[in-house]
Amino acid sequence: MYYVLKKKDLPKFVKLLNKDFEVIAPVKKNGSLIFDKVSSADEIVKNYINTDYPPKNLFLPDGETIFEYKKSNNIKIKHPGKPKKRVIYRIRPCDVNALLKLDKILGGGFYYRTKRENTKIIAINCTKAGENCFCTSLGDDQLKEGFDLLLTDVGKEFYIKIGSEWGKKLMKHKIFKRAENSFKKTFFECKRFFLAKDLDKKIERNFNTKIWEKHFKKCFSCTACSVVCPMCYCFDLVQVPKSENEGKVKKFWSSCLLKEFSRVAGDFIFRDKRVNRVRQFLSHKFLYGKKHYDEFLCVGCGRCISHCPVGIDYEKFLEEIK
Ligand code: SF4
Ligand code: SF4
């Protein structure tokens, strides 16, 4: 069963959410489209394909304090408290699917899990694809689970699908009406498309071929692609001392594209060549992800293509390797 919300009632909807939650939605800030706190519907960018940055910083913040320590007679450790209750409004299916995949990998960890548990998801279906999207190749354009509410824009109103008890309760408010008619969901096609079946096997078979050099020789390890990727979660733990006996341990984003990331004991760097680091980036997503989690660790959002300063196009590589 579906519910209907008239678009003219969107300000009331955001006000209703703001009563009990911190509302996070797409906003324009310093020239970029990002997810950030909003207090009213006017602040929200509605006409967009995808945000420049995914919402992963809400679950894996860069520079997060893992614990604080103080040494006197004994060592006192202070952990951060639980995050605030919040709702992400207008998140796209690819970004929700990225969270569902991250749950399989990081869901057992305190820091990630508490943030996931405290966050409601109000997703919105896409009605068209961006020029770099290839989510349909990976099946990440559709949402079967992982949302509290799922909105579909049908012109003057939204059709709403319920995904949780919380979502069901919210529909009792007078701004929502039960849908009298069913509606036809719009399916869209991405211009970029390849058959993803056996992609992992093809990557494995081509592991030592010249195809990597051909596509990635221009890469200069800026890591823009992994910063904007909703599925990249590599990190470094850094001790930040305040004094000899006091300080914090913080977690900062890192990337397998960086030389330092593969430095091990004995000062040995086992992925010295840039192209081998790009191979690691893609193999982690399409070969090891499939082996360990039965998932491709990519949702085809296309951000890596849009943000690469030298025009490296991972999707073209995937098409060729297929
Ligand atoms: S690898 Fe690129 S297309 Fe895939 S999820 Fe990451 S940013 Fe999106
Ligand atoms: S954004 Fe482009 S140049 Fe930068 S690390 Fe990624 S592939 Fe390399």
The answer to whether 190 and 133 have CB atoms below 8 angstroms apart is: yes
Q: Which of 219, 259, 317 to mutate to test the pocket of ligand 2 (most atoms within 8 A of CB)?
A: 219
Residue nearest to atom 6 of ligand 1 (CA): 229
How many Å from the N-terminal Cα to the C-terminal Cα in the chain? 40
Alpha carbon distance 170, 315 (integer Å):
40
Kindly list the strands in the beta sheet with 119-124, ordered across the sheet, starting from the edge strand earlier in the chain. 32-38, 22-29, 86-91, 119-124, 149-153, 157-162, 2-6, 176-178
Q: Which stretch of DSSP H or E encloses residue 20? A: helix 10-20
pLDDT digits (tens, 9 = 90+) for 210-225: 999 999 999 999 999 9
Q: Assign 97 a pLDDT band (cuts: 50, 70, 90).
A: very high
- Shortest-distance Cα residue to atom 1 of ligand 2: 308
Instruction: Note the pLDDT of residue 322.
Output: 86
Question: CA–CA separation, 227 vs 152, rounded Å?
Answer: 29
Question: pLDDT band at residue 63, thresholds of 50, 70 and 90?
Answer: very high
Model pLDDT, residue 80: 82
Q: Is the CB of 223 under 6 A from ligand 2?
A: yes
**To 10 degrees, what angle do helices 93-106 and 110-117 make?**
140
In the predicted structure, residue 271 carries a pLDDT above the cut 80:
yes
pLDDT band at 95 (very low <50, low <70, confident <90, very high): very high
Pocket of ligand 1 (CB under 6 A): 228-231, 285, 298-304, 314
How many domains does one find in the chain?
1
| pLDDT for residue 182 is more than 80 | no
pLDDT, residue 181, reads 78
Phi-psi region of 63 (alpha: psi -120 to 50; beta: other; left: phi over 0): left
User: Binning pLDDT at 50, 70 and 90, where does residue 88 land?
Assistant: very high
At 222, the amino acid letter reads: C
CA distance linking residue 159 with residue 58, whole number of Å: 27
Task: Name 98's bridge partners.
Answer: none
Segment 14-22 long-range contacts (CB within 8 Å, at least 24 positions apart): 14/38, 14/40, 14/41, 14/44, 14/89, 15/40, 15/41, 16/170, 16/173, 16/175, 17/87, 17/89, 17/122, 20/85, 21/85, 21/86, 21/87, 21/120, 22/84, 22/85, 22/86, 22/87
The mean pLDDT value for 80-89 works out to: 89
pLDDT at 81: 79
**229 Cβ closer than 6 Å to some ligand 2 atom:** no
Q: What are phi and psi of 253, to 5 degrees?
A: -60, 145
Residue 153 structure tokens: 């824009």
3-state secondary structure of 115: helix
DSSP string of 134-181?
Answer: -HHHHT-SS-SSS-SEEEEE-SSEEEEEE-SHHHHHHTTSTTEEE-SS
Closest Cα to atom 7 of ligand 1: 229
- What domain range is 240 assigned to? 2-321
Mean pLDDT of all residues belonging to the chain: 95
Find the helix or strand (DSSP H, E) in which 106 lies: helix 93-106
pLDDT greater than 80 at residue 185: no
CA pseudo-torsion sign 81, 87, 89, 95? positive
Cβ-based neighbour number of residue 139 at 10 Å: 13
The model carries a pTM of: 0.95
- Give the pLDDT of residue 305: 98
**pLDDT of 156 strictly over 80:** yes
CA 165/CA 148 separation, integer angstroms: 8
Torsion on CA atoms 270, 273, 275, 281, rounded to nearest 10 = 30
Q: 168 falls in which pLDDT band (50, 70, 90)?
A: very high
Residue 83: predicted pLDDT: 81
